[in-house]
Amino acid sequence: MSKTIRPLHDHVLLRVKERPATTATGLHLPERRDEHNHDTIVEARVLAVGEGSLERMEAALKVAPIAVHVDDRPQVMPVKVGDIVLVCENALHHVDLDGEKYDMCPVQALFGVVEGN
């Protein structure tokens, strides 16, 4: 039986998009971000979302979030499974489960959703 991760509250489970090892011009890129640059923004795919926290979201956004229903449960999360989001690499918590690497963060750490092609 394989294990799955179900985020709690206002957390999201992500898989960060792999960066290429070289640029189009052939320059080699380091595997890890520069330790002095804490503001690196990366793209990630949303794999799972928690049920949300209405009070936290209202306080963070200063407005009532749109509630959607998933599996007959009200959701107050501004993202859904499959979305591509922008997140600060420094806000990610790394998770290794059965050899698979994931990242988790609170929804407040997300900067936006990438839309279009």
Residue ranges per structural domain of the chain: 11-17+39-114
Task: Describe the chain by its helix, strand, coil percentages, rounded to 5.
Answer: 10, 40, 50
Amino acid at site 31: E
Residues 6+ apart with CB under 8 A from 96: 102
Nearest Cα to 109, choosing from 46, 19, 20? Answer: 46
pLDDT of residue 18: 79
pTM over 0.75: no
Task: Give tens-digit pLDDT for 78-107.
Answer: 889 999 999 998 899 999 998 899 999 998
Under CATH, which number does the domain 11-17+39-114 receive? 2.30.33.40
Cα–Cα distances (Å) from 23 to 44, 66, 96, in that order, read: 19, 40, 28
Q: How far apart are CA 10 and CA 65, in angstroms?
A: 12
pLDDT of residue 78: 83
Task: Give tens-digit pLDDT for 19-62.
Answer: 666 777 877 666 555 555 557 889 999 999 988 765 655 565 55
